[in-house]
Structure 1
Amino acid sequence: MPRIACLHTIASNVAVFDAALQETGLTGLTLHHHVRADLLTAAEREGRLTPAIAAETAALLRDLAAEADAVLLTCSTLGPAAEDAASDAAVPVLRVDAALAAEAVRQGGRVVVLCAVETTVEPTRRLFEAAARATGAEIAVEVVPRAWEAFKAGDADRYRALVARAADAARAGGAAQVALAQASMAGAAGLLPPESRPLTSPTVGLAAAIAASRAG
């Protein structure tokens, strides 16, 4: 039975990815969750993903790879560490937003990528701009004002409402596609009509990890 190890920096993302697995409809595999909130806390304190934090994250991902068929890093701020770990890990190591970026830029046009926390902006921008080179999509990365404050205060309803409002505004402003960069933002999509919902990372990222584990 394929085993997918998920490295989270937010404890609530455990439930998000368990729900995403149900949404995929795929069976015959198990998710094993590991939460390291201290890694994101350190990046927020430093204002960015430092080489030391990236190295610690990459080492942890390699350790998880030793006992899994694929590893999925679910924190966008730490995303580049997955690329470092993937170069010499025993199994596929993926960042959850890589599949999101590929899907978001697939049809070109203006793509607005929403983040909740500032430390996610630059890793996200680099990822989406790299994906956009293949399709000519125009990338705009924006932070949703006050959203992360609401999340850290435990006000999940306000967090989702602020993200949904920003996604709706991006559509109204002419975006061909809107993507929610952080897995924790996924619940906001359900607050909008199906025809205008933004793309979210948990389901597509998890599906990519499952496919990678089976391909190996």
Structure 2
Amino acid sequence: MKTIACLHTAATNLRLFDEACPPDVTLYHHLRDDLLAEAEAAGGMTADIAARTAAALEALAEPGTDAILLTCSTLGPAAGLVCAAIPVLRVDAALAEAACRNGGPVMALCAVHTTLAPTGALFAEAAARHGATLEVRLVEGAWAAFRAGEADRYAALVAAAADAAFDGGAAVVALAQASMAPAAALCRAGTPLTSPAAGLAAVA
């Protein structure tokens, strides 16, 4: 049995990770929605936000914990600043690897503009390793729906964008933010990859 500490920045993600959790993994959830709110207000992650995110991750390295999982794609680069005796993983890194490992055309969909740069960089590295062609696209209007608490509209917008990507020739569509995962069940043109499932599979 593995014990994973998860740092989230959206309360709705706790349920998504519990639902995707393998039977041999125990999750402990920690919520820091203030960090994402600050990054949104700043237009992206700043050095100060990165340092405080790294400190929050380091604080989760308690005895009995096998790994730490950062589930926020906007704050993902902060994982590289952590000094801990256990692995600190970005959930979107596992997603990027899973999406690109077979090559071919890959579409990474993002819901919020603050994750475009870190997600794009991460997926570009994976695409280069595996010879995949990559496009990163923002789902217009999705994050406004999420912030307004319109979960059904949020999922519908993401699903429509994923279907359009499949119809447009993408071999793989990756939903780059964990909060987008419920949209996968609504897709008609293919099944997109989601970060809760990919990240927890990589840890397990």
TM-score category (smaller protein): over 0.9
Once residues 122 and 175 of structure 1 are traced to their aligned partners in structure 2, the CA distance between those partners, rounded to angstroms, is: 21
Q: In the TM superposition, what are the counterparts of 1:58-137 in structure 2 within 5 Å? A: 58-67=54-63, 68-85=65-82, 88-137=83-132
The residue that corresponds to 1:205 in the other structure is 199
The residue that corresponds to 2:165 in the other structure is 170
Report the aligned-residue RMSD: 1.2
The residue that corresponds to 1:40 in the other structure is 36
Runs of 4+ in 1 over 2 A off after TM superposition: none
Q: How big is the shift at 1:132?
A: 1.1
SS in 2 for 1:7: strand
The residue that corresponds to 1:213 in the other structure is none
SS in 2 for 1:101: helix
Q: How big is the shift at 1:63?
A: 1.0
Q: Is the 8 A contact 1:110 1:175 kept in 2?
A: yes
The residue that corresponds to 2:144 in the other structure is 149
Which amino acid is 2:56 matched to? L
Which amino acid is 2:18 matched to? D
Q: Is the 8 A contact 1:116 1:143 kept in 2?
A: yes
Q: Is the 8 A contact 1:106 1:135 kept in 2?
A: yes
Task: Spell out, residue by residue over 1:35-66, the C-alpha distance to the aligned partner (whole angstroms, 9 max, x if none).
Answer: 00000001001101111111110111111013
TM-score (norm 2): 0.96
Once residues 47 and 131 of structure 2 are traced to their aligned partners in structure 1, the CA distance between those partners, rounded to angstroms, is: 31
Once residues 35 and 97 of structure 1 are traced to their aligned partners in structure 2, the CA distance between those partners, rounded to angstroms, is: 18
Are positions 1:18 and 2:15 aligned together? no
Once residues 167 and 2 of structure 1 are traced to their aligned partners in structure 2, the CA distance between those partners, rounded to angstroms, is: 33
Q: Is the 8 A contact 1:124 1:181 kept in 2?
A: yes
Once residues 2 and 183 of structure 2 are traced to their aligned partners in structure 1, the CA distance between those partners, rounded to angstroms, is: 30
Which amino acid is 1:73 matched to? L
Q: Is the 8 A contact 1:10 1:37 kept in 2?
A: yes
SS in 1 for 2:44: coil
TM-score (norm 1): 0.91
Q: How big is the shift at 1:133?
A: 1.3
Once residues 32 and 76 of structure 1 are traced to their aligned partners in structure 2, the CA distance between those partners, rounded to angstroms, is: 19
Partner of residue 191 from structure 1, selected from 181, 186, 192: 186
Question: Aligned residue pairs: how many?
Answer: 203
Q: How big is the shift at 1:209?
A: 2.1
SS in 1 for 2:149: coil
Partner of residue 159 from structure 1, selected from 154, 158, 161: 154
The residue that corresponds to 1:214 in the other structure is none
Q: How big is the shift at 1:102?
A: 0.5
Q: Is the 8 A contact 1:8 1:14 kept in 2?
A: yes
